[in-house]
Amino acid sequence: MHPILPPFPHTRLRRLRRTAALRDLAQEHRLSVKDLIWPIFITDVPGADVEISSMPGVVRRTLDNAIRAAEEAATLGIPAICLFPYTDPGVKTESCEMAWDPGNFVNRVIRAIKAAVPEVAIMTDIALDPYNANGHDGLVRDGVILNDETVECLVKMGVAQAEAGADILGPSDMMDGRIGALRTALEAAGHADVTILSYAAKYASAFYGPFRDAVGASGALKGDKKTYQMNPGNSDEALRLVARDLAEGADMVMVKPGMPYLDICHRVKDAFGVPTYAYQVSGEYAMLMAAIQNGWLDHDKVVLESLMAFRRAGCDGVLSYFAPTAARLLAQG
């Protein structure tokens, strides 16, 4: 619907842009620190807690440093952090049994953060790639990524994370049927209040490269993920996937990557009206940081403008490596 406007000069659209006060009053969308989820990389591998070369300013964190990140998030008002592990390649297997080990590093970090900073929500990643010798999100047999067998593993992984104290489970694997299976298992295990933020529309994107460096999956990956992640040329399919995940019990849904798929964010929010998130992925972060470091873009302005794009597209929030930076900028007004 478009308003009927009287002709110029009775309508001068610049009137509402004339001063900062008028621009504030007329602003349609706003970005808040409460819209942010901060993804962090964690590791217990000696010597691996270093800056990631393809993601300037982003480091892998030991348990103590992960707790400090949660404390920083609480101080800044960031409501949630999301954990992604870098695992020793020597302990990865084809059966991925470490993924659901109650004592694995992710679950230890969840317990430690919940004990130290209980007010910060902890989101986790549910996919087998950090523990998979083949680098895939699912089990592999004869070059084929298995769906139903993988779902059984993912359910065990999710229940173990819930028992460790995770607030939000993020299934990112894109296997069929995993949301329903996970929701059923959580109810049966007494974790009815644990939230599922489904990576409902996750594309087989070229923007994930730096993330795979960060979690150590680049060298391990055999082949690609196109048989389970979405074709970048599809948009109607995204709506079918979101509808399916909501019907199976997802509380919130995500589009990934973010900026190249703002049209999908808008369609999802418009069609379903549910809490909708996007992930400003590693490649988006890396390309902005490269331009910033070369002096081609203004750091502060670009960070906030890039995040505002998600709000304008209809997202309720965004996972971003810029979260602490954005929180500080927003606090400055």
Is 226 part of the annotated catalytic residue set? no
For tokens 């992930």, the residue is 279
Per-residue confidence (pLDDT) for residue 171, from 0 to 100: 98
Whether residue 219 is predicted with pLDDT greater than 70 in this model: the reply is no
DSSP, residue by residue, 46-75: TT--SB-TTSTT-BEE-HHHHHHHHHHHHH
CA atoms within 13 Å, Cβ hemisphere of 68: 8
The pLDDT tens digits for 90-117 are 999 999 999 999 999 999 999 999 999 9
pLDDT of residue 319: 98
Question: What does the pLDDT look like over 70-83, one tens digit per residue?
Answer: 999 999 999 999 99
- The two tokens of residue 188 are 């049966």
- Residues 208, 214, 217, 218: is their CA dihedral positive or negative? positive
Q: What is the mean pLDDT of residues 162-175?
A: 98
CATH of 32-331, one of 3.20.20.70, 3.40.50.300, 2.60.40.10, 3.40.640.10: 3.20.20.70
* Distance, first Cα to last Cα, the chain: 33
Whole-number pLDDT of residue 218? 67
Reported as a pLDDT band with limits 50, 70 and 90, residue 208 is: very high
- In this prediction, residue 198 carries a pLDDT of 98
Cα separation of 221 and 226, whole Å? 12
Binned at pLDDT 50, 70 and 90, residue 222 comes out as confident
Q: Are 194 and 169 in contact (CB under 8 A)?
A: yes
Place of tokens 């065990």: 156
Structure tokens at 248: 């199976």
Residue listed under structure tokens 């087989």: 204
Q: What is the DSSP string of 193-248?
A: T-EEEEEEEEB--GGGHHHHHHHT-TTT--S-STTTSBPTT-SHHHHHHHHHHHHH
Q: What is the mean pLDDT of the chain?
A: 96
Dihedral, CA atoms, 111, 80, 42, 215, nearest 10 degrees?
A: 130
| Domain limits, the chain | 32-331
Q: Is the pLDDT of residue 125 over 90?
A: yes
- Mean pLDDT across 40-52: 95
Range of lowest pLDDT (87-91, 121-125, 292-296): 87-91
Q: pTM of this prediction?
A: 0.95
Q: Where are the alpha helices (DSSP H) in the chain?
A: 20-26, 63-76, 105-116, 148-164, 178-188, 209-215, 236-248, 262-272, 282-293, 299-313, 323-331
Tell me the pLDDT tens digit for each residue of 188-202.
999 999 999 999 999
pLDDT at 214 (0 to 100): 85
Q: Which of 202, 225, 269, 301 is catalytic?
A: 202
256 is catalytic: yes
My answer on whether omega of the bond before 85 falls inside 30° of 0, hence cis, is no
Determine which one of 92, 114, 225, 256 is catalytic: 256
- For 254-310, what is each residue's pLDDT tens digit? 999 999 999 999 999 999 999 999 999 999 999 999 999 999 999 999 999 999 999
